[in-house]
Structure 1
Amino acid sequence: MIGIGLIGVGYWGKNHVSIYKSLLQENRIDYLKICDTDENRVKEISEINSLEYTTEIEDILNDDKITAVVIITPSATHYDLSKLALENNKDIFVEKPMTLNSNDSRKLIDLANQKQKKLMVGHLFRYHPAVEAIKKRIDNGELGKIQMILTFRFSFGVPRKDMGVILALAVHDLDLFCYLLNKEEPESILVDNGKFNQDEVIETTNISLNFNNNTKGYIMESWNIPVYGKKRELVIVGSEKSAFVNYLTPSEYMIFDSSLKKIQSKDFFYFEKHNNGIQKIAIEYKEPLKQEILHFIHCIETRERPNSDGLVGYNAVKMCEKARLSAEKNERIYF
C-alpha cells in the first residue's frame, strides 16, 4: 500500500495535489491526505479535489495509512518536517532546496539511511524530457567533449521574499550541470550578485563554474530584466555538436553541428567550420512534475535509489553555500 501525506498546498503544492489526485484515481496510490496550516486554503483545496485534510502535522505523522510524506512548504521548514517524517518511519519527498544549510541536509541523509527510508529531493529539471534526451546524447559521446554549459532564466516581477534568486532558481542549474556532466560538484565557483530593488533579496546572479574536465559552466538568473519577457534556456556546447533547449517550447530541442576542422599549411593554420545544418527534434512532452512524482512512486515500490536522492540535494545546497561565500568574498571559491 502507498499512502501519501502531502504537506503544503500553496502555489506549488496545488500542482502536486492535482497530480497525486490523478494517481489516486488511477490506483497508482491507495490513499491521499493533504495538510496545511492555513485552514481556509486547505479546506478549499480538499473540497475541490474531494480529499481528506488536516491542519495538524501530527495527523499526517500518526496516520498508519500514510507511508510517504511529501513536503511542499517554505524552505525554512524543510529540515524540521523532513526529520519528523523520517523519525516516524515515512519515506519522504521534499522540494528543493532540501534544507537551508548542508549540515542539516547531511543529517537527513544519515537519518534516512538509519531508518532505511527513501529520501528524494525535488530537482525538477532532471525529469524534463528534453534534458533526458540530451543527456543520453552526451553520455553516448554524440556531442563530443562538453566544453561549455550555459543557462539563462530571466523574468520581470516581484522577487520572492523567503529566498534570493540562487536558492529559488540557480539551484536548479547548479544541480543540472552536475547531472549532465556526471559530476557531484564543480572544481570552483565565482559569483556576482545584484540587489537593485530590495536590499535583503538577491534578484540577479551571474555564476561561473569550472569542472575538472576543463568544462565551463555559466549561469545567469534575474527577476529584474523587463526586456525579454520570460526566458528559460539551456545551451550545451560540445566539440562535435551542441544542443539548445527552450523550456518554454518543451516539445522540441535543437542540435547544431559545432565541430571545427584544423587546416594546416606551411606557415599558418586556420579552422574550418563544418556546416551540417540544424536539427529540430520533436519529442513527446511529458510534464516534468508528473514524471518526477512517478519516479518517487516507483522508488517507493521498488526501493531503488531516487535519481535526485538526498546526496543530490545535499550537493545542491552545498553549491549554494559556496555561491554565497564567493559573492561575499568577491573571489573564486574552490570545493
Structure 2
Amino acid sequence: MPAETGSDVEPIGLAVIGAGYWGPNLVRNAQATPGLRLEYLCDLDAERAHHVLGGYSTVRVSSSLDEVLADPAVQAVAIATPAATHLPVAMAALEAGKHVLVEKPLAATFSDGRKLVEAAESRGLTLMLDHTFCYTPAVQHLRELVRSGELGSIQYLDSVRINLGLVQPDVDVLWDLAPHDLSIFDAILPDDVRVVEVAAHGSDPIGAGRACVAHLTLRLSDGVMAHVHVNWLSPTKIRTMVIGGSSKTVVWDDLNIVQRLSVHDRGVERTDAVDLGAEARKQAIVSYRTGDTVAPALPEREALRAVMAEFSASISEKRAPLTDGRSGLRVLATLEAASESLANGGSFVAVQAQEAVA
C-alpha cells in the first residue's frame, strides 16, 4: 500500500467540497490522515455541512467555493459533488492552484476529462481519482500477484458485480457500476496493457429507459479478453472477480470476509504430441493440473483511509498517485466506447486512441 506522509511533514490544508452522501466519509478519513489538515467543508447547504461536522468541530463551513479556493490555507480539495459538476468545480480548483481528489467518474465525458488532466499537468498539480476499490487490501494483493508474475501469463479476467441496486436517474448500469471493475483492471494489469476494443450488450426489462443489466467484453492490447457483468436487478448481491493465469488462478469474493482471496494452483495445460505422426501432432494433449489452494492473510482496513494517505503522499512526494487523472481518463474512454457499442447493437468499438490517454 502507498505509505502515509510522515508526521514531521507539515500537513496539507484540505477542503472537502460537498456534504452529501460521500462527503462525510471524506471528512472522517481526512481528519484521521496525519498528512492532511481539514480546513473547510463546503456545501451550498451550510446547515447540512454543520450537521456533518457536529457542534464541536473547528473545521470551517462555507457555502462559497470561491471563498474556499481563495484561502491560501487550502492547498488541496476533495470533491464529492454530482458528476455533472466535476468539470467546473475541479477546473476552478486547478486554476486556483489546488491539488484535486475527485469522485468517479472524472467527468461526464472523455473530452471534459482530458481538459482536467491537461490543466493539472500544465500546472504541475496532482489530479487523483477516488477509485476506492483499488486501495482495498484485496486489490493491492491482486496487483502484486499479477505484476510479480506469480499467476504466470494472464489468460482471462471475469468480473461480476450484481445486486438489487438503485436505478440511477441519469446513467445506465454500465456507467454506474462498471467503473469499479474497469479501474481495478487498470490498476492491477501491467502498465503497457490497455483496453483496445469494447463490446457491450444490455437490456431494460423494467422499462426504466436505460440499460439495467449489461455485459461488457474487453479486448486488451496483449490479446487477452476480459468480461464484466453488471446488474441492478439481482436479488442476490455478488461481487466476484476471477483472474486466470497460465500458472495459477485467483478468485476474489469481496463479500466473503473470512476468505476474500483464493489462489488456486489448478489449471489446464497443453502439450504437443511430438512422438506421434503428423496428423496426431495436429491435436493437442490436454492435461489438468490440480494443486493447492492458498488463502492469503489480508489486513482489514478502510480503503478510503488509504485513498487519503495516497493523495497526501503523492502531493508531498511530487509523484503521480496510483489512480491518477490519466487512469480516470482511460476508464472514461472505455465507458464511452461501451455506450457506442450498446447503441450499435453490441459490435466491437475501438477505445479512444491510446496515445491520448497513455
User: Under TM normalisation by the shorter chain, which class is it?
Assistant: over 0.9
* Alpha-carbon distance in structure 2 between the residues aligned to 1:134 and 1:30: 32
Which residue in 2 is equivalent to 1:207? 216
Post-superposition CA distance 1:148-179 (Å, at most 9, x none): 11111111133122322222210121222233
Mapping 1:217-236, distance limit 5 Å: 217-226=226-235, 228=236, 230-236=237-243
- C-alpha distance in 2, partners of 1:81/1:167? 21
Contact 2:144 2:188 in 1 (8 A): no
Q: Given the alignment, which residue of 42, 50, 63 partners 1:55?
A: 63
1:254-276, Cα deviation, whole Å (9 max, x unpaired): 10123334464745653221111
**1:157 is matched with which residue?**
165
1:21 matched to 2:31: yes
Secondary structure of the 1:296 match is helix
Counterpart position of 2:350: 334
Structure 1 segment 137-216 matched on structure 2, within 5 A: 137-182=145-190, 183=192, 185-216=194-225
* Counterpart position of 1:106: 114
Q: Which moved more, 1:45-54 or 1:5-14?
A: 45-54
- Given the alignment, which residue of 335, 346, 351 partners 1:320? 335
Pairing partner for 2:316 from 284, 289, 301:
301
* 1:287 lines up with 2:296 in the alignment: no
Instruction: Number of aligned residue pairs: give it.
Output: 330
- The equivalent of 2:356 in structure 1 is none
Paired residue secondary structure (1:322): helix
Amino acid at match of 2:350: Y
Unaligned runs of 5+ in 2: 1-9, 352-358
CA contact (8 A) 2:266 2:291 kept: no
Contact map agreement 2:16 2:41 (CA 8 A) in 1: yes
Q: Give the Cα–Cα distance (whole angstroms) in 1 for the partners of residues 330 and 55 of structure 2.
A: 38
- Percent of matched pairs sharing the same residue: 26
TM-score, structure 1 normalization: 0.93
Match of 2:20 in 1: 10
Range with bigger deviation, 275-284 or 90-99: 275-284
Partner of 1:310: 325
Contact 2:213 2:231 survives alignment (8 Å): yes
Aligned equivalent of 1:93, options 96, 101, 107? 101
- TM-superposed deviation, 1:48: 5.7
User: For the aligned residues, what is the CA RMSD?
Assistant: 1.9
1:245 to 237, 252, 276: 252
TM-score by length of 2: 0.87
* Equivalent position SS for 1:205: strand
Offset of 1:233 from its aligned partner?
1.1
Q: Secondary structure at the match of 2:291?
A: coil
Mark the CA change 1:124 to 1:250 in structure 2 (over 3 Å): closer, same or farther: farther
Distance between the aligned counterparts of 2:299 and 2:267, measured in 1?
28
1:74-89 → structure 2 map (5 Å cutoff): 74-89=82-97
Q: Distance in 1 between matches of 2:70 and 2:313?
A: 24
Change in 2 beyond 3 A, CA 1:261/1:324: closer
Q: Can you give the 5+ residue segments of structure 1 that lack an aligned partner in the other structure?
A: none
Equivalent pair of 2:35/2:313 in contact (CA under 8 Å): no
**C-alpha deviation, 1:184, in angstroms:** 5.9
- What is the rounded CA distance, in whole Å, between the counterparts of 2:55 and 2:177 in structure 1? 30
48, 53, 66: which one aligns with 1:46: 53
Tell me the SS of whatever aligns to 2:97.
coil
Distance 1:92 1:285 in 2: 27
Which amino acid in the other structure matches residue 41 of structure 1? R
CA displacement at 1:70 relative to structure 2: 0.6
Residue pair 1:237, 1:258 contacting (<8 A) in 2 also? no
